[in-house]
């Protein structure tokens, strides 16, 4: 199941991208795609609706695999108002090496402000005065059930609703040169484009073999695979559950492969006018133009 949200900011409506590539209006469910909906068995509600109702087609996939809406409506992030956006840093060996950091013995955990979440084609804003705004393609986990003190990584699977593409946009000066934790370099407005869709966990055959690619202005900068994670998806969820309660709708960004600007003097940071394009196997494509805050 591939879930989406369509419409202007604050008035998005739910949609389903079906197996035939049609984008169907899910407004009849009468609820947004948020934590309370997921906790109440939202996926089953969608399945029952699709089986019993003739839904309106509002768009779909084109021959190039890009999704669009017939009336040109905006595509929003596939999850509404998450309680938390959690992130794992330096979770790929080669990314740790390119940034000059040691391989972590335990997951490095930080948070992004939930209101940094935007749609997959929304503008990415460089903060005022920023000279070091960077990109990071990541696999995002979306929780579908509460998780606390899980007994093992294997127990994590039952609480995962699905997966999506996430861009953990980062301001490196704020993150690394201004003192304190990483959060203020990660939480600026528009710093978490996500989508275009949320693929339910059963859509992904092997979450540890997803290809991740990111290009800036047509130049491939990141070309990696989740097979090279230091800490796998289920381990991350188990680990986080030992320190905090994970709630339905929470988003977990799982780290980025190598190829960011940080650590490479010949790779420029983002500036207004740039185009950042991301794709992941089974999770679609996103593209965001860069503007100035």
pLDDT score of 20:
95
pTM confidence score: 0.97
Helix, strand, coil abundance in the chain, percent, nearest 5 = 20, 35, 45
Q: Compute the distance between CA of residue 147 and CA of residue 136 in angstroms, rounded to an integer.
A: 26
Residue given tokens 């869709």 in the structure block: 197
Q: Find, among 8, 129, 136, the residue nearest to 71 by Cα.
A: 8
pLDDT score of 256:
97
pLDDT score of 99:
83
Query: Which of helix, strand or coil describes residue 245?
Result: coil
Q: Compute the distance between CA of residue 243 and CA of residue 221 in angstroms, rounded to an integer.
A: 34
The upper half-sphere exposure of residue 172, i.e. CA atoms within 13 Å in the direction of its Cβ, equals 15
pLDDT in tens, 248-275: 999 999 999 999 999 899 999 999 999 9
| Spatial contact of 270 and 134, defined as CB atoms under 8 Å apart | yes
pLDDT score of 14:
98
Name the stretches of the chain with pLDDT < 50.
none
**CB burial of residue 61 (10 Å; 0-12, 13-18, 19+):** middle
85-292 classified as CATH 3.40.50.2300? no
């Amino acid at each position: 199941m591939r879930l989406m949200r369509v419409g202007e900011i604050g008035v998005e409506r739910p949609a389903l991208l079906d197996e035939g590539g049609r984008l169907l209006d899910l407004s009849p469910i009468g609820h947004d795609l948020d934590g309370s909906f997921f906790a109440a068995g939202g996926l089953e509600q969608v399945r029952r609706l699709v089986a019993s109702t003739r839904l309106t087609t509002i768009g779909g996939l084109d021959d190039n695999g890009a999704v669009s809406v017939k009336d040109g409506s905006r595509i929003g992030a596939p999850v509404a108002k998450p309680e938390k956006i959690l992130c794992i840093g330096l979770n790929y060996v080669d990314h740790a090496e390119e940034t000059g950091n040691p391989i972590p013995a335990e997951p490095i955990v930080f948070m992004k402000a939930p209101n940094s979440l935007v749609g997959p084609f929304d503008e990415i804003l460089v903060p005022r005065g920023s000279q070091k705004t960077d990109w990071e393609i990541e696999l995002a986990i979306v929780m579908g059930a509460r998780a606390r003190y899980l007994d093992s990584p294997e127990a994590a699977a039952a609480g995962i609703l699905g997966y999506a593409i996430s861009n953990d946009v980062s301001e490196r000066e704020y993150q690394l040169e201004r003192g304190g934790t990483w959060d203020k370099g990660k939480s600026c407005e528009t710093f978490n484009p996500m989508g275009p869709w949320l693929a339910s966990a059963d859509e992904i055959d092997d979450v540890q073999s997803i290809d991740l690619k990111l290009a800036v202005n047509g130049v491939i900068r990141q070309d990696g695979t989740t097979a090279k994670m230091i800490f796998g998806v289920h381990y991350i969820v188990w680990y986080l559950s030992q320190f905090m309660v994970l709630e339905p709708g929470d988003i977990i960004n799982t780290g980025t492969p190598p190829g960011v600007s940080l650590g490479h003097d010949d790779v420029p940071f983002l500036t207004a006018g740039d185009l950042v394009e991301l794709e992941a196997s089974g999770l679609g494509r996103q593209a965001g133009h860069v503007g100035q805050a």
